[in-house]
Structure 1
Amino acid sequence: MKNSEIILKYGCNPYQNPARIYNKNKTMPFKILNGTPGYINFMDAFNSWQLVKELKQMSGLPAAASFKHVSPAGAAIGIPLNDILKKSYFVEDIELSSTAAAYARARGADRMSSYGDWSAISDTVDLPTAMILSKSVSDGIIAPGYTDEALKLLLKKQRGRYCIVQMDWNYEPERMERREIYGMVFEQKRNDVKIKEEMLDNIVTNNKNITESVKLDMLVSMITLKYTQSNSVCFVLNGQVIGVGAGQQSRIHCTRLAASKADIWYLRQHPAVLNLPFKKNISRPERDNVIDQYLRDDTTIMEMKGWNNVFEEMPNRLTKEEKAEWLSSLNGVTLGSDAFFPFRDNIDRASQSGVKYIVQPGGSLRDNIVIDACNEYNMVMVYSNLRLFHH
């Protein structure tokens, strides 16, 4: 391995060999402290790093992301957690720093998708953050630094094979970026647009009441979308992404996917879920999997057969009416979209999952219809005039 080149075991798949990453004879802006990251690991690492660095620069708070297959399962800034979220995220036994709170939130957005994630942290990884990672199924991490205690703990993960990357905070890539597809070279100016609060000035709905905390959520959503495979929509609440709909061909499918994930995120905080009678030896990934089944309306009797080995006693299922009543209290959610809404169906679906604030570029032929729909629900909608496609 040169300091400008890393030979990889293979590319996206085991049969795609040889594979490497290199930096045009320049010194790599990172160090591999442990493990052997692969092709997809590095793709997740560099996309997630850009996201958390930009969130940190925007908010001034530690930021974290949980990435899977080049899109965030979750992203957040380091706002303190209440007791309910601590229990829902399985971190009630850890004294959380602001950095640890950011990662707990990022991983807590979509715990099923975060299984085997790549983690990104904007600040030096401390012991509380490492403690969360040590108990999570995760493939690797990228951060600007690690305390001695944190590094010592992470080096034990995966029997010493856990991938740990240290990134140079000051690194800036070239202005132009290139890639090859089928032998053709694509070149474009790197997406270095800065997401700023001034982009939120154009409020197009009758309701124009917007707080500073909502503006922060809008900015979090836009920065997250900037590094999410398009089409994409994300839901944000209190500085935390709570649902991402990524890589869908239809805008409404993005919205439905993000909304369904936000619903699950909120249902996980229902007292019946927080107090499920799990046996003591059940791992956190197993709990996440069973909770997902428990909350699904279409879970079959066959899928429930193994629950006797998981629970001390079989719990009662939440009824559709109980779920609907709980979800009706979800409110104040911000929705961000990387491109305009072509139809009002997105607004109708979003309204069912607590969305009251929307930021999107605008520019659809049916903008007036979409605005009218928002006015019906007394939503606030902002036109950022900034499309954020990412491929």
Structure 2
Amino acid sequence: MTRRALISVSDKTGIVAFAEKLRELGWEIISTGGTKTALDAAGVATIAIDDVTGFPEMMDGRVKTLHPKIHGGLLARRDLDTHVSAMRDHDILPIDLVVVNLYPFKETILKPDVTYADAVENIDIGGPSMLRSAAKNHASVAVVVDPLDYETVLTELSENGNTSYETRQKLAAKVFRHTAAYDALIATYFTAQVGIDKPEKLTLTYDLKQTMRYGENPQQNADFYESAMPTAYSIAQAKQLNGKELSFNNIRDADAAIRIIRDFTEPTVVALKHMNPCGIGTADTIEQAWDYAYASDPVSIFGGIIVLNREVDAVTAEKMHAIFLEIIIAPSYSDEALAILTRKKKNLRILQLNFEQQKQSEIQKEFTGVLGGMLVQNQDTTVELQDSWDIVTKRQPTENEIKALEFAWKSVKYVKSNGIIITNDHQALGVGPGQTNRVGSVKIALEQAANRLDGAVLASDAFFPFADNVEEIAKAGIKAIIQPGGSVRDQEAIDEADKSGIAMVFTGARHFRH
């Protein structure tokens, strides 16, 4: 019996050559709509779907393949006499190969001017139904959803006369992944349209972006997946201009770096190591901002990740080129700067990122995996500025201290908790990240900032649970502190600040970062 293939694809990449080879191998081809038109135009003989069903396409193509003569030919088990006799009794011919890909729903909803009606019309019904029918019956039917698999199928048909069961099983698995991802996009779109923020089912889908040599450590296997709905301001969308492939830790650190710099609008440079800022500088020029960021901690910046929110010019590039860095991220690079940075540094990872889409990135939710589950939250993108502060001490901060406190409060949000940062109005001076008690973080930050405390202020990501934190700060001579407040011992901290002539600001909001 002549074998039949059903071909109906939105992505027509390689489909003519694939169909021509099938015809050479003696297959009949059933086709529909635009696919049939393309194959007919190429001289590939096809059978119209309505010639198989005896029923015309209708309702603007919404109904054409949903018919027993199609799904019976796909689902019938060839090893069951009852199925074979049912096909014979109802004049159903078996379909042994299905090549289908789906209406471009993702591409449709990514259009900036997409309407709800357009999105709905691009939900494929017949395509997933045929794919699922064929995949379910993979014992007998080969099903192809990805043009990358055309060669494999043709090779096996040419050499063996049929595809192997192992191949059909793998193709079926890919189909179910494909349809699951397709449905996940539709579910996510509709959930957003009706304004449901906490759905009872969380449907996420990601595409493999990069296979990795290893994960956080060499003994850990890892891969990098990108959200099926890409975010322009993300490491996944950054253009790599130079250097080795990004590692697992590179990606996590780079992601942390581009989050930090979003809160700064003036020329700013952030240096980061192990998910914590080790230098932040802001100035009138990007070169001066680099100088401040470098001077924040010239030791820790070695081997660090650098993000700049202005084009990298030649003079800044020369300064960065002088030390070992892992990654540089910026919105653009002058030709001269790029030539300098790549000179004798083939491994330096240089990324170009679309900074104009920063606001879009802020609305994305954060997903954190835990054993047996997933935590979901909004990003911490708020910045509490002076108009929301409560100055709780007798001493008021000076105008210069207020500027420094604003800078410090924006910066401490990205220090791992318990987080402490000491800054002036343009530069991080000392960072105390991630200690198990807050006074330990204070001591680390003070040690880094030693001999640079003139005009410095201190920010804490959460309240001071004991007055001993303020005692340590007072000993160092710092005269202004910003913190959330909210401890049952707040008054003790305020009294200690008053005793030492320190101005203390409560913001009313904490910025834990675990």
Please classify the TM superposition score into its range, dividing by the shorter chain length.
Answer: 0.7 to 0.9
1:8 counterpart = 2:212:
yes
The counterpart of 1:231, out of the listed 403, 418, 433, is 418
State yes or no: 1:40 paired with 2:249: yes
The one-letter amino acid of 2:394's match is N
Q: Does 1:140 align with 2:333?
A: no
Q: Distance in 2 between matches of 1:68 and 1:383?
A: 29
Q: Where does structure 2 lack aligned partners over 5 or more consecutive residues?
A: 1-205
Q: Which has the higher contact order (CA 8 A, sep 6+)?
A: 1
Contact 1:73–1:244 (Cα < 8 Å) also in 2: yes
**Aligned: 1:163 with 2:325:** no
Could you tell me whether the CA contact under 8 Å between 1:4 and 1:26 is conserved in 2? no
Amino acid at match of 2:385: K
Aligned pair partner of 1:253 in 436, 440, 443: 440
Once residues 397 and 229 of structure 2 are traced to their aligned partners in structure 1, the CA distance between those partners, rounded to angstroms, is 52
Mapped to 1, the partners of 2:208 and 2:315 lie a distance apart of 33
Map residues 118-157 of structure 1 onto 2, 5 A cutoff. 118-157=305-344
RMSD value over aligned CA atoms?
1.9
Correspondence 1:15-34 to 2 at 5 A: 15-26=219-230, 28-34=236-242
**Which residue type is aligned with residue 197 of structure 1?**
Q
Which residue of 1 is the match for residue 86 of structure 2? Answer: none
Q: Secondary structure at the match of 2:327?
A: strand
Letter in 2 for 1:26: P
Deviation at 1:50, TM superposition (A): 1.9
C-alpha distance in 2, partners of 1:151/1:23? Answer: 30
8 Å Cα contact 2:269/2:309 also seen in 1 = yes
> How many residues of Structure 1 are paired with residues of Structure 2 in the alignment?
301
Whether the 8 Å CA contact 1:10–1:17 is kept in 2: the answer is yes
CA distance, structure 2, for counterparts of residue 208 and residue 144 of structure 1: 39
The residue number in structure 2 matching 1:298 is none
**Aligned with 1:13: secondary structure?**
coil
- Name which of 483, 496, 499 aligns with 1:376: 499
CA contact (8 A) 1:332 1:354 kept: no
Q: Contact 2:253–2:272 (CA<8 Å) still a contact in 1?
A: yes
Q: Deviations along 1:212-255, whole A, 9 cap, x unmatched?
A: x3222112212212111111000011311100000111010010
Superimposed CA distance per residue, residues 138-166 of structure 1 (whole angstroms, 9 cap, x where no aligned partner): 111111111111111111253x1100111
- TM-score by length of structure 1 reads 0.73
**Partner-residue secondary structure (3-state), 1:376:** helix
> Which residue in the other structure is 1:83 paired with?
none
What residue in structure 1 maps to residue 375 of structure 2?
186
Residue 207 (structure 1) aligns with = 395
2:479 partner SS: strand
CA separation of 1:15 and 1:157: change in aligned 2, threshold 3 A: farther
1: CA distance between counterparts of 2:379 and 2:477?
35
More helix by share: 2
- Number of the residue aligned with 1:73: 278
Structure 1 residues 386 and 42, CA gap change in structure 2 (3 angstroms): same
2:264 is paired with a residue of what secondary structure?
helix
Give the direction of change, closer, same or farther, for the CA distance of 1:157–1:237 in structure 2 (3 Å limit): farther
Bigger drift between 141-150 and 37-46 goes to: 37-46
Give the secondary structure class of the aligned counterpart of 1:228.
Answer: coil
> Structure 2: which amino acid aligns with 1:163?
R
Tell me by how many angstroms 1:3 deviates.
9.1
Shift of 1:75: 0.8
Say which one has the larger Rg.
Answer: 2
- What's the CA shift for 1:65? 0.9
CA contact (8 A) 2:397 2:480 kept: no
Q: Secondary structure in 1 aligned to 2:332?
A: coil
* 1:4 Cα deviation after fit: 7.1
Q: Please state how far the C-alpha of 1:119 moved relative to its aligned partner.
A: 0.6
Residue 103 of structure 2 corresponds to: none
| Deviation readout 1:100-149 (Å, 9 max, x if unpaired) | 11122112112222121111111111112111110112111111111111
In 1, are the aligned partners of 2:292 and 2:426 still within 8 Å (CA)?
A: no
CA distance in 1, matches of 2:249, 2:210: 14
Paired residue type of 1:32: Q
Unaligned runs of 5+ in 1: 80-97, 267-329
Hey, what does 2:466 align to over in structure 1?
A: 343
Amino acid of the structure 2 residue aligned with 1:208: Q
TM-score (norm 2): 0.56
Match of 2:287 among 100, 107, 111: 100
User: Is residue 480 of structure 2 the alignment partner of residue 357 of structure 1?
Assistant: yes
The residue correspondences of 1:82-101 to structure 2 (distance < 5 A) are: 98-101=285-288
With over 3 angstroms needed to count, the CA separation of the structure-2 counterparts of 1:157 and 1:361, relative to structure 1, is farther
Matched, 1:334 2:457: yes
Map Cα deviations across residues 267-300 of structure 1 (whole Å, 9 max, x no partner).
xxxxxxxxxxxxxxxxxxxxxxxxxxxxxxxxxx
User: Within 5 A, what are the aligned runs for 1:181-330?
Assistant: 181-200=370-389, 202-211=390-399, 213-263=400-450, 266=452, 330=453
Q: In the TM superposition, what is the alpha-carbon distance from 1:26 to its structure 2 partner?
A: 2.6
Structure 1 contact 5–23 (Cα < 8 Å) conserved = no
TM superposition shift of 1:25: 4.9
